[in-house]
Amino acid sequence: MLIARFDKRIGAWLIDKILSWGALGGLLAVEIIYFPKDLSLFLEILIAMAASYLFYVISVSLYLFIGNGYTLGMQIFGIRACHATQERIRFKEAFLKALMTGFIAMDLVNAIFMLSEHTERSVFDRLTSFLVVDVRAEK
């Protein structure tokens, strides 16, 4: 198994994030048009961001669990998350990984860790005992 490179992992994460940002834009549009006008703009943005984060966590965790280690971004870049023993990913692990990678601040800390340690395994991978492997390199 060849561990996936940092650039592929960032690209896959960005695709998954862009989908949640699309949901954020849609939610903001719905809130501004249909919600009561007595809500402040700050509150509307806060509600939309919380809903976007929730959308990201639910969609990524379900996608990881059902797709057995793939998210949409990971499929595009040809990488997948798996255990070293190749056993199936449990929903709790997929949910924990999605919960942690949903926060941009945590992702920035994680990226700094990966670059400073010269490792292709993130803090999230270590906590969930995942490896992110390059599927295309295995073939």
Domain boundaries, the chain: 6-138
In which band, very low, low, confident or very high, does the pLDDT at 48 lie, cut at 50, 70 and 90? confident
Q: What is the 3-state secondary structure (H, E, C) of the chain?
A: CCECCHHHHHHHHHHHHHHHHHHHHHHHHHHHHHCCCCCCHHHHHHHHHHHHHHHHHHHHHHHHHHCCCCCHHHHHHCEEEECCCCCCCCHHHHHHHHHHHCCHHHHHHHHHHHHHHCCCCCHHHHHHCCEEEEHHHHC
Which range scores top for mean pLDDT: 41-50, 92-101, 104-113? Answer: 92-101
Average pLDDT score, the chain:
82
- Answering whether pTM is above 0.85, one says no
User: Biggest alpha carbon distance in the chain?
Assistant: 58
> Which of 14-18, 94-98, 135-139 comes out lowest in average pLDDT?
135-139
CA 126 to chain centre: 16
